[in-house]
Amino acid sequence: MCDAVSRAMSDVSALPESSRRRFLQALGVTAAAGGMVAAGLGSAQAAPRGRGHRPVRNRTRLVLLGTAGGPVHQSHDHYGVSTAVVYEDRVYVVDLGLGAYRRLIESGLSPLGTGAASLSQVRGIFFTHLHSDHTTDWPAVYATGPMNAVGRPQGSVIEVFGPGDRGTLPRVFPPGRAVPEVVNPEQPTAGISGMTGYLRQAFSQDFNDRTRDSNFPGPESLFHVQDIDLTGIWDVDPAGTPPRLDRPIEVWQDGDVRITATLVDHHPTAPAFAYRFDTPDGSVVVSGDTTVSANLIDLARDTDYLVHEVIDPAYVDQIVASLPPAIGGPLREHLIAAHTTIEQVGRDVAEPAGARNLVLNHLVPADSSRRRWAAAQHGYSGRLIVGEDLLQLGIGR
């Protein structure tokens, strides 16, 4: 759901109390103690269901760390979106939403089973795009990483990939409204390298304290951060709608594991990526945030598991109905035009791609019923799996 709802929440702050209350109730949020407390549209349990999932023994595994989409925390069962692909003892993580670091510790992917070793086997981190619900735990991982990599081979680094600086601000929507103030005009569209540079500045006191007093290494000793180069592929424009690609983007070959990417359509946010992981046992594709995308269908041809975002249009209509048209109209346009609905994801994406398994992820809303998500099976002949935090799935033998 990216940050469109957050922007709408800012806009409704100027509405009368009765209108604000209707919007918050539709969103699944109530105002309390001067702040926002997540209530959700359904009941939330004290412990995540995913903790009951047993590890699988396949050499290649898919582990859903967090399955919720959007910046609103609605359910204790579903933390922010994050996905791990595991080959032998190598862990590759896509996105780090709210709570992803905790889920990584709970997943059992650490050989010591402790937080201090949570990053010991992580080989790479891949960001699909830089909306907050996909990056919120990156500051925590970056700042504390060197202290939570016990058992890691000395000198080995975690490769970090993500979008670069788009070079232009997105268009203002709807056309004709007042242009908002630009945040950080010196570098308003920083990519993953630029973002991480700001994190290094923000945590400078902590880093200096630890290096000078305790001889702890700084995060630059553990993380090698790099922007995915789009030179000759796309000069991002304000509309943010990517071109059709004739081949995937080569990201990294890590021994037997090949990682490729493509541009997906999450306009006006750009660049936004989907990633494919190929191992000797099979393949996993992670969509990131996107509407129906021909590039993604190409990337996901005959994949074993397509992990794809999904949004419930009925939920969107429920939110929009509580808002004045000037706010609700643009919000609905973004949520429907830049995401993939329940009706679309199986029929229009997984089926033409020939994906053998479709895993629904980045669930919006996170606490909707499984019966509602099951409608994604219509038009899709493969196996449908509704994502749950800490669910593990095996690929190959």
Contacts of 16 (CB under 8 A, 6+ apart): none
Question: C-alpha angle with apex 199: 197 to 205, nearest 5 degrees?
Answer: 115
Q: Sign (positive/negative) of CA torsion 6, 182, 237, 202?
A: negative
Token pair, residue 1, equals 């759901």
Element (H, E) at 141: helix 138-144
pLDDT of amino acid 25: 52
Q: How far is CA 377 from CA 228, 381, 392, in A?
A: 34, 7, 21
What's the pLDDT at 43?
28
Collapsed DSSP state (helix, strand, coil) of residue 28: coil
Q: What is the pLDDT of residue 27?
A: 52
Asked if 19 and 324 count as a contact pair (C-beta separation under 8 A), the reply is yes
Residue whose C-alpha is closest to residue 39's, from 48, 27, 47: 27
- Residue 46's contacts (CB-CB under 8 Å, 6 or more residues apart) are 76
pLDDT of residue 16: 57
- The separation between CA 273 and the C-alpha centre of its own chain, rounded to angstroms, equals 10
Q: Is 377 exposed, middle or buried (0-12, 13-18, 19+ CB in 10 A)?
A: middle
pLDDT digits (tens, 9 = 90+) for 214-229: 998 999 999 999 999 9
Helix (H, G, I), strand (E, B) or coil at 5: helix
* C-alpha distances out from residue 270 to 242, 243, 288, 372, Å: 8, 11, 12, 30
| pLDDT number for residue 18 | 55
Q: How far apart, in whole angstroms, are the C-alpha atoms of residue 138 and residue 199?
A: 9
- Which pLDDT score, from 0 to 100, does residue 325 have? 83
- pLDDT number for residue 73: 79
Please state whether the peptide bond connecting residue 365 to the residue before it is cis, i.e. omega within 30 degrees of 0.
yes
Chain segment 189-216, per-residue pLDDT in tens: 999 999 999 999 999 999 999 999 999 8
| pLDDT digits 0-9 by tens, 147-165 | 999 999 989 999 999 999 9
Q: String of b and e for 53-82 (b: at least 16 CB within 10 Å)?
A: beeeebbbbbbbbbbbbbbbbbbbbbbbbb
Domains (ranges, CATH) in the chain? 4-170+190-395 (3.60.15.10)
User: Which sign, positive or negative, has the C-alpha torsion 340, 344, 349, 350?
Assistant: positive
Count of Cβ atoms closer than 10 Å to residue 238 Cβ:
13
| Low-confidence spans in the chain with pLDDT less than 50 | 6, 9-10, 12-13, 20, 23-24, 29-50
pLDDT at 360 (0 to 100): 98
